[in-house]
């Protein structure tokens, strides 16, 4: 790792000022950032790192005004263990409990988990070996190269890398909002980025809170994940569903450059009883738009429809 200055911030304003110079990076749990710095995968190396964990009052889980509020620096382990979240916002607790390993869940924060950089072994090759599209370069190396874990729903801005957050699809299924120092963004819109990067956040914009409305009466949610190992691994595909209200919500991740709201699957299951047959139909609908490229798409498609079906069935 190269040397950088490290500052413990005491306020959001202080961080905002610091980030404005373009040479400073924010650190929370550091479980994604330190890996990128150690491997030196990006074009620019920050001169300064400013720590948000020392800003008081950002680590909380509370219900208020008919919604759940989670402070930006709340650790994933705390979310996974929180009884209210387990009971009412189940998909989020389940998603948080499946992130990486116990050590990483004790360090990683909810804001960091949704703001994490994409996963692609070209993008993440040490020493910025591949100056790819997502970094602002001209080539997506996965297009021609080994793309077995990449997008099966086409590229975004020419990039095939997938968003691998476990909590993002849960937040989208739960209709959450991301609050920053300057605005409130629908979780689904949070990832709609057109330029290089991974979220709509401006360079000096800071996530302060996650808000989740209380689920509609009778609604239940669930999250499931498929990975090769039971621990550590990022998802090959994951899936969160909320069913029971008027409008079911279903979101897949790691299948596309951003979390994929499976609208057709939602339509397929809307108003229907949860049966093996209906769940399977929703699964098929979820993958209706899957492309035939890359070659591994067939495999991920099979996993994705299975997860949608099973997530729905788990709420029967």
Partner 1 sequence: MTNKQNPDTQQNVIGRSVPRVDAPHKATGKALYTADMKLPGMLYGKLLRSPVPHARILNIDVSKASSLPGVKDVIIGKDTPGIKYGNWRLFPQTQDEFPLAMEKVRFIGDEVAAVAAIDPDIAEEAVGLIRVDYEELPAVFSVDEALAPGAPLIHDEIEELEGNISIDRNIDVGDLEAAFARADLVLDDTFTLHAVSHAYLEPCAVLAQPDTEDRLTLWTSTQTPYIVQCLLASTLGLPENHVRVIKPHVGGGFGGKMELRPWDFCAAFMARRTGRPVKFVLSRTEELATGRRRHAIKIRSKVGFKKDGTLVAKDFEAYLDGGAYNSMGPTATFLCGNFGAMLYRYPAYRYRGYHVYTNNPPAGAMRGFGAPQAMYVSETQMNIAAKELDIDPIDLRLKNAMVTGDAIEGVTKISSAGFVESLQKVAEMSGWKEKHAAMPPNKGMGIGCYSFISGGVFNWFNTPYHFSACEVRAYDDGTVHLLTMASDIGQGSDTILRQILAQSLGISVENIRITSADTTMTPKADLGTWGSRVTLMNGNAILDAARKIKENLAQIVSLKFNLNVIHEIAFADGRVFAKLKPERGISFAEAVAMWVTANRGRELTVRGYYTPRDKGLTTPAYSFGAQVAEIAVDPDTGIVTVEKITTAHDCGTVINPMAVEGQLEGSIQMGLGYVLSEKFVMRDGKTLNTTFLDYKIPSAEDMPQIESCAIETYEPEGPYGAKEAGEGLAIPTAPAVAHAVFEATGYRCKELPITPEKILRATGKLME
Residues that bind partner 1 (CB under 8 A): 2, 101, 121, 126, 145-146, 226, 228-234, 296, 298-299, 302-303, 306
What's the min distance (Å) between Cβ of 294 and partner 1? 13
Contact in structure between 24 and 68 (CB atoms under 8 Å): no
Nearer to partner 1, 147 or 175 (CB): 147
Of 220, 260, 221, 210, the closest CA to residue 238 belongs to: 260
What's the min distance (Å) between Cβ of 52 and partner 1? 25
* Residue 161 neighbours by CB under 8 Å, 6+ apart: 118, 119, 120, 123, 134, 142, 150, 151, 257
Q: Is residue 6 exposed (0-12), middle (13-18) or buried (19+ Cβ within 10 Å)?
A: exposed
What's the min distance (Å) between Cβ of 273 and partner 1? 21
Cα Rg, the chain, nearest whole Å: 19
What's the min distance (Å) between Cβ of 91 and partner 1? 19
Nearer to partner 1, 20 or 232 (CB): 232
Of 59, 80, 51, 244, the closest CA to residue 167 belongs to: 80
Nearer to partner 1, 36 or 211 (CB): 36
What's the min distance (Å) between Cβ of 298 and partner 1? 5
What is the rounded CA–CA span in Å between residue 152 and residue 130?
21
What is the rounded CA–CA span in Å between residue 181 and residue 129?
35
What's the min distance (Å) between Cβ of 103 and partner 1? 12
Nearer to partner 1, 7 or 40 (CB): 40
Nearer to partner 1, 194 or 228 (CB): 228
Nearer to partner 1, 55 or 290 (CB): 290
Neighbours of 190 (CB within 10 A): 24
Nearer to partner 1, 185 or 268 (CB): 268
Contact in structure between 77 and 165 (CB atoms under 8 Å): no
What's the min distance (Å) between Cβ of 145 and partner 1? 7
**Does the bond joining 294 to the residue before it have cis omega, within 30 degrees of 0?**
yes
What's the min distance (Å) between Cβ of 215 and partner 1? 28
What is the rounded CA–CA span in Å between residue 234 and residue 258?
15
Per-residue b or e along 33-46, where b marks 16 or more CB atoms closer than 10 Å to that residue's CB: beebbeeebbeeeb
What is the rounded CA–CA span in Å between residue 134 and residue 204?
19
Nearer to partner 1, 106 or 146 (CB): 146
């Amino acid at each position: 790792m190269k040397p950088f200055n490290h500052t413990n911030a005491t306020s959001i304003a202080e961080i905002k000022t610091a980030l404005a110079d373009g040479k400073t990076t924010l650190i929370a749990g550091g479980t994604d950032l330190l890996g990128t710095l150690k491997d030196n995968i990006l074009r620019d190396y920050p001169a300064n790192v400013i720590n948000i964990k020392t800003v008081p009052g950002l680590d909380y889980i509370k219900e208020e005004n008919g919604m759940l509020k989670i402070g930006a620096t709340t650790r994933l382990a705390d979310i996974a263990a929180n009884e209210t979240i387990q009971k009412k916002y189940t998909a989020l607790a389940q998603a948080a409990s499946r992130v990486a390993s116990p050590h990483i869940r004790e360090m990683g924060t909810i804001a960091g988990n949704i703001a994490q950089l994409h996963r692609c072994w070209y993008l993440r090759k040490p020493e910025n070996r591949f100056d790819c599209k997502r970094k602002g370069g001209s080539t997506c190396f996965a297009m021609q190269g080994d793309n077995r874990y990449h997008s099966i729903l086409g590229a975004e801005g020419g990039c095939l890398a997938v968003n691998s957050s476990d909590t993002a699809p849960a937040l989208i299924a739960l209709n959450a909002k991301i609050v920053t120092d300057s605005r409130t963004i629908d979780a689904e819109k949070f990832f709609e980025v057109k330029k290089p990067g991974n979220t709509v956040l401006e360079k000096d914009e800071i996530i302060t809170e996650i808000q989740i409305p209380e689920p509609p009466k009778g609604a239940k949610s669930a999250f499931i994940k498929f990975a090769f190992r039971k621990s550590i691994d990022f998802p090959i595909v994951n899936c969160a569903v909320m069913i029971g209200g008027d409008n079911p919500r279903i979101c897949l991740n790691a299948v596309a450059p951003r979390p994929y709201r499976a609208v057709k699957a939602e339509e397929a299951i809307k108003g229907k009883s949860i049966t093996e047959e209906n769940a399977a139909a929703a699964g098929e609908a979820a993958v209706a738009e899957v492309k035939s490229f890359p070659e591994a798409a067939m495999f991920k498609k099979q996993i994705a429809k299975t997860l949608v079906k099973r997530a729905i069935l788990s709420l029967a």
